[in-house]
Amino acid sequence: MGTVTLEGVHKAYGNTTIVERLDLDFPDGSFTVLVGPSGCGKSTTLRMVAGLETVTSGSVKINDRDVTALEPKDRNIAMVFQNYALYPHLTVLENIAFPLRATKTPRREARVRAQEIADSLGLGKLTGRKPKELSGGQQQRVAIGRAIIREPAVFLFDEPLSNLDAKLRVETRSELLAIQKRLGITSIYVTHDQEEAMTLSDRMVVMREGKIAQVGSPAEVYGSPNSVFVATFVGSPKMNILRGTLDGTTFQTPEGHSWPLVSQHRGDVLVGLRPEDLLLTADPAGPATITQIELLGPRAVVSLQLEGTKLTSVVEAGALQGLSRGGTVSLDFRLGSAHLFDPMEETRLPG
């Protein structure tokens, strides 16, 4: 069992608030990702769950037990740091077995268990090596092994994949997920990479300036972002945002471009359109100009300039006919795909 509950968790230094009265639930066995730009408070929140940072006010509960005042060692957690924090002077086996020293587990038993875990992670042959002799991916697996051996209630991850190159990152991601599903341990994972957040989590918590911007499954957060911030943060390339007015059947920009858009809302609005929902047709009289085409294999990212606004569209490679740099296009919104936001509050509008 491993539930985590944050109630009114608040962290401030003097006048600066890092995390503002956070209320968050982490169900047993879930994989929650805290994601957000630098300085949003995600790492601080994680460290408060770990006990590495003190809580200014509020409480942290693990399995309904209030651990707010407890040292990390008494919380029954395991953590993987960004640089893996492997003990340089110990071998792989000793690294993995190290946490058992704290529980006074007999040496032989510790070694046996560590070897089992090393084998399950594909490190069986490397147990005699020191960390500096391992590759990045191997080091990461040692860190995970060390975390697993305690059979903790909660796994905490602080951007563990940031040090790996792109390809390795993707591979390790799926391995991590597989391990978590197999062991069923509640995991809280911090990253600044929204793509990573989307692929790993069954629950995403988007944070901004110490507060929760949105909580939900990746599909929810991607499909129904509740604010311009979340909408532009999640999803790459970024969502296009256009300013204009609605009159029930059309959306019109100040420069005079208009598109059909049925809505219940009237008046000034921000319209959000994912790049894959912005459709292009080559048109010599079109309002937008193509400034760049980046081919990414099956798709291409097309950058456009519409008067003063930069837009992005994602086009299937096969549909690139007639589209070229410098050429003009006309734009269409995919039916029903527009997101509406209040221009002042930048929050989602229904309809």
Partner 1 sequence: MTNARILGSLRNAFLFFALITVLFPIVWVALASFKTAPQLNDPSLLFFEPSLLNWRFVFEAGILEAAGRSALVAGITVTISAIAGSGAAYVISQYKAGGAATRFGILAAQVLPPAVLVFPFLTLAYVLRVNDTLLPLIFAHLSFVLPVVTWFLIGFFDSVPKSLEEQARVDGFTRFKAFLLVVLPQVYPGLGAAIIFGFTLSWNDMFYGLILTPSRSAILPVAIAGFNTFRGVELGSMSAAILVAVIPVVIASFFIQKRLVQGISGGAVKY
Contact 282, 293 (CB under 8 A): no
Contact 203, 322 (CB under 8 A): no
Q: Which helix (H) or strand (E) holds 118?
A: helix 107-120
Q: Side chain identity at 178, as an amino acid letter? A: A
Q: Tokens 């006919």 belong to which residue?
A: 321
79 binds partner 1 (CB under 8 A): yes
Interface size with partner 1, residues (CB under 8 A): 24
Closer to partner 1 by Cβ: residue 159 or 277: 159
Closer to partner 1 by Cβ: residue 71 or 284: 71
Give the DSSP letter of residue 239: P
Q: Which of 8, 27, 65, 87: binder of partner 1 (CB under 8 A)?
A: 87
What is the total residue count of the chain?
351
Instruction: Return the exposure string of 126-151: e unless at least 16 CB atoms fall within 10 Å of the residue's CB, then b.
Output: bbeebbeebeebbbbbbbbbbbbbee
At closest approach, how far in Å is the CB of 248 from partner 1? Answer: 57
Residues 123-152 contacting partner 1, CB under 8 A: 146, 150
At closest approach, how far in Å is the CB of 81 from partner 1? Answer: 5
77 binds partner 1 (CB under 8 A): yes
User: What CA–CA distance (Å, rounded) separates 46 from 64?
Assistant: 18
Q: Which of 23, 65, 73, 224: binder of partner 1 (CB under 8 A)?
A: 73
At closest approach, how far in Å is the CB of 44 from partner 1? Answer: 13
User: What CA–CA distance (Å, rounded) separates 301 from 27?
Assistant: 38
Q: Which of 23, 54, 57, 81: binder of partner 1 (CB under 8 A)?
A: 81
98 binds partner 1 (CB under 8 A): yes
282 binds partner 1 (CB under 8 A): no
Contact 54, 40 (CB under 8 A): no
Give the interface with partner 1 as residue ranges (CB under 8 A).
50-52, 71-73, 77-79, 81-83, 85, 87-89, 98-99, 101-103, 146, 150, 156
